[in-house]
Amino acid sequence: MSDLSVDLLGLRMFVSCVGLVGNVSLFLSIFQTRVSNIKSFELFLLGLASVNLGEIVSINVYDIIILETVFTTTGAWWCRLLKFMTTFGEIASILFTVVICIFRYLKLRDVDRRGSLPICLDSIASAWMLSGVCVTLSILLSLPMFAITFRGSVVNVTENGGGCPKDFFQCGENYCPVLNCVYKYLIMVLCHLLPLIIITVTSSLTIMVLLDHNTVRPASDTMSPDHHLGKSQGFYRSTVAVVAAMGLFQVDWTLYLILQWTFSPSVSPIWIEIEFFISASYMSISPYVYGIGGHLFSLEKCKLLLKR
């Protein structure tokens, strides 16, 4: 293994550990301290942390154990199952991010006229239903991974030592299955480009509301029945954290789409590493942004978790 591969492997493990710690901490902070009175926003964060954890584990199993290790007994079914899990985790993480962004904007929009009245997504039943929709859509959009043709399309699949291709959508010089092309661009449009547009528009509208002091002030005052200043500031800080996380999302997936559309992943031998760091950076950093902004990560929270 080259020095570059060793360095990338070490950096990959560091990013993965940071992501695991952040998502586990976010999950435990919400689950153990607010399970008896969980709100819609916390439920969406729980869903995001859960799928992020599954995605980080799955992508490392696929990319490191399968691709970097001489593992010739790997069958096509295991390749498809692992790729299905990584695709499911990626899509679910994106969908939960879209829901979080829209939910926070709806909480701010027209709050000066709505006052303390809840929105439709404040209902925990609605939040559970929307979370179920995100999971179901992610499963349905990931299922075609079991039908993708990759054995005959990748020339040196088995010569790498493992049986799984680095790029499921890489085609041969003379033949490329229609399903491969259709599914690849369907995922890029529906699961990357469209959510990116929605989040960009929604987060921009949220920033406009935050910059409008005449709207932010009433919004902060009506977030809690007792008009407590600390809770008002907490809501504002949490909203800023959501906007920051959305900014990270936009940078990551804009870069991903630019790279996908400007050159072929099969040309670059380190494309799999680039793809990992793009997707893993949001999944690893965003839990800390949400946790710190929402006062879920604090010294008091850590002491409470350690006592339990």
Looking at residue 140, its amino acid is L
Average pLDDT in the 147-175 region?
Answer: 57
Q: Taking the domain 6-307, which CATH number applies? A: 1.20.1070.10
Please check the confidence at residue 299 and state whether its pLDDT lies above 80.
no
Strand partners, 71: 162
For 79-93, what is each residue's pLDDT tens digit?
788 889 999 999 999
Higher pLDDT, 118 or 304: 118
Average pLDDT in the 125-151 region?
Answer: 89
Cα 35 to Cα 270: distance, rounded to the nearest angstrom = 42
Cα 36 to Cα 144: distance, rounded to the nearest angstrom = 38
For 12-61, what is each residue's pLDDT tens digit?
889 999 999 999 989 888 877 656 678 899 999 999 999 999 999 888 88
Task: Please count the other Cβ atoms lying within 10 Å of the Cβ belonging to residue 52.
Answer: 30
130 CB-contact burial (10 Å; exposed 0-12 / middle 13-18 / buried 19+): buried
Cα 105 to Cα 292: distance, rounded to the nearest angstrom = 19
Average pLDDT in the 151-166 region?
Answer: 49
For 190-220, what is each residue's pLDDT tens digit?
999 999 999 999 999 999 888 874 444 544 4
Higher pLDDT, 251 or 114: 251
Task: Please count the other Cβ atoms lying within 10 Å of the Cβ belonging to residue 94.
Answer: 25
Instruction: Select from 145, 58, 69, 125 the least CA-distant residue to 93.
Output: 58
DSSP assignments along 65-106, one per residue: IITTS-BTT--HHHHHHHHHHHHHHHHHHHHHHHHHHHHHHH
Cα 283 to Cα 249: distance, rounded to the nearest angstrom = 9
Cα 84 to Cα 268: distance, rounded to the nearest angstrom = 23
294 CB-contact burial (10 Å; exposed 0-12 / middle 13-18 / buried 19+): buried
Cα 184 to Cα 291: distance, rounded to the nearest angstrom = 34
Contact 3, 25 (CB under 8 A): no
Looking at residue 22, its amino acid is G
List Cβ neighbours of 147 (8 Å cut-off, separation of 6 or more): 179
